[in-house]
Amino acid sequence: MPTSNVGMTSLNKTRSTEWLLACCAIAWGCAILQPGELFEISSDQMLGLIMRETTWGALAILIGCLRCLGLAVNGWWRRSPILRALGSYASGFFWLSLCILQFAAARKSGLGLPPGVYFYIVFFGFEGWCLAAAGYDMQKAGAFSMRGR
């Protein structure tokens, strides 16, 4: 069994979660970019007030792809927890935005919450965990240290 000089802790075992959330952003963006007017559905109308469907879809794909790139750099070339932290932060903000806007649309229309709200808030929570793990890795690598500067 190969060993690594990088210690495994409960915090830095998040790579699969980070890959999952990056792929979810790409998949969501691809779904939004399909033909049809998805934002005509009442739960998505608030999203349409902020940006067009194509912009939301492109943003999701961009965030997901940049996140995948950061994870690939971190995993194959060199440790780069700052890229992972930035990816988690951007993704977390994205999922929270979707959650808030769909919640607001449901309140405005008087309808129940769409299923996406529940998923987005879970994704946001896991992004927080991934951000904490990247922060832990940065601390472990001495990124917050003033020594040597």
pLDDT digits (tens, 9 = 90+) for 25-66: 888 888 778 777 766 777 778 888 889 999 999 999 999 998
pTM over cut 0.75: no
Reading the block at residue 91, the tokens are: 């993704």
Question: What is d(CA 59, CA 41) in angstroms, rounded to the nearest whole number?
Answer: 20
| Residue position matching structure tokens 């994870």 | 71
pLDDT digits (tens, 9 = 90+) for 96-127: 999 999 888 888 887 777 778 888 888 998 89
Q: With cut-offs at 50, 70 and 90, classify the pLDDT of residue 13.
A: low
pLDDT at residue 145 in the model: 64
| Residue 134: exposure state from Cβ atoms within 10 A (0-12, 13-18, ≥19) | buried
Can you state the percent helix, strand and coil of the chain, rounding each to 5?
75, 0, 25
pLDDT(8) > 60 = no
The one-letter code for the residue type at 104 is A
